[in-house]
Structure 1
């Protein structure tokens, strides 16, 4: 689909997340939302499922999440009745820890690790579901790349990416979660990023 992203983002500039989601759902043939249950993910999960309850929720579980993240994922999945589609690496974490370990970001093998635990499962999920609209919780200020996009962008594969909370601050999200009586969980670690301002390659 060919889009005038500048025009669309200008038109959506003053819209609420709910209005942005409704706009995308109105033309989407096969929308999905991706999640890793990191902090504030519950906001996008709540907002999107309020508009489209049965939307497919793709969770690519690296196998290296914290205990708290797994408990949070279980709680949110039940609370919001999420239509979870789980994708995991083809090799178990236990096996990988023996043959590869968890390389530091300076180690050339880190790229292999990232491909195995995140990029391949994600690519497999997208190939199987073939979405035309992809809801994410990307926000301005997270990384240099994310500062360069907007509420609506387009992936290299042509999928329309919609980030309804793109311009929201942590404080605004805190207020949203309080209003919706939703829990948040900050004990989170992504071994493919390590540093919060790094991209793992999923969104570029």
Structure 2
């Protein structure tokens, strides 16, 4: 599959997000899923995917530190589309050991500790969610971060040995919100309170006017470290 990445990017150049999704959902039926962060982009993708194929797997990760508004969004999304989004949790024993050894909010102490928390709460559950899959769909956009400007529509995820598809990679934030309004897509109400990017509650803050859309994520760190490890090439 890896050898097809270049050809797929050529073939899908200029295609709409729906066309990209349609191609991969049909090509990899039963082996493809949306890994949803429940952000605005992933809610757009949820709408598009379910319009193409209601049976395509959609899952999210519950780290145990999410906002109440995020849990409410899972409920509202399931109700609107008549689905049961799969939810994956971290292993309780590993979280318990980490917290007892390093503290409940260890992530503020160093990038290394923050990434260790992300690894236990997000990366390891993600790997369980990926079992049996060949392709994962992501809501990444180039505009979101300096760490994402070189990403393409189709990539090879070396760490997970699978294809990663980014149908919205060229979309602007305005395009995302215009589509949400057009389709009446449920979204996290924190977006209305200056939270453009929402993760775990202690690691996310509202942004101020003029700040980058990812400024509120791991806000005590420098921009070039602001990834949790989910999107390594």
- Bin of the TM-score, shorter chain as denominator length: 0.7 to 0.9
1:186-201 aligned within 5 A: 186=191, 187=195, 188-190=198-200, 191=203, 194-195=218-219, 197=223, 198-201=226-229
Q: Which moved more, 1:51-60 or 1:187-196?
A: 187-196
Query: Which structure ranks higher in relative contact order (CA pairs < 8 Å, sequence separation ≥ 6)?
Result: 1
Please name the residue that 2:92 is paired with: 91
For each residue in 1:80-134, what CA deviation from the matched residue of structure 2 results, as whole angstroms up to 9, or x when unmatched? 22342211111289956555212216254223211211111111222xx321111
Give the structure-2-normalised TM-score. 0.77
**Which residue of structure 2 lines up, in the alignment, with residue 59 of structure 1?**
60
Contiguous gaps of at least 5 residues in structure 1? none
CA contact (8 A) 1:152 1:161 kept: yes
Distance 1:27 1:175 in 2: 29
Partner SS, residue 146 of structure 1: coil
2:22 — aligned with what? 22
Matched, 1:149 2:177: no
The whole-number CA distance in structure 1 between the counterparts of 2:111 and 2:134 is: 35
Q: In the comparison of the two structures, how many residue pairs are matched?
A: 202
Q: 2:69 is matched with which residue?
A: 68
Which contiguous aligned blocks of 4+ residues in structure 1 show a shift greater than 4 angstroms? 92-99
Q: Does 1:173 align with 2:183?
A: no
Q: Which residue of 1 aligns with 2:140?
A: 138
Equivalence for 1:121: 125
Please list every run of 5 or more consecutive structure 2 residues that lacks an aligned counterpart in the other structure: 205-216
Give the match for residue 187 of structure 2.
184
Equivalent residues of 2:34, 2:137 under 8 A apart: yes
- TM-score normalised to the size of structure 1? 0.87
Question: How far apart in 2 are the matches of 1:178 and 1:83?
Answer: 23
153 and 107 in structure 1: CA distance in 2 versus 1, 3 angstrom threshold: closer
Bigger mean CA deviation after superposition, 133-142 or 192-201:
192-201
Contact 1:133 1:161 in 2 (8 A): yes
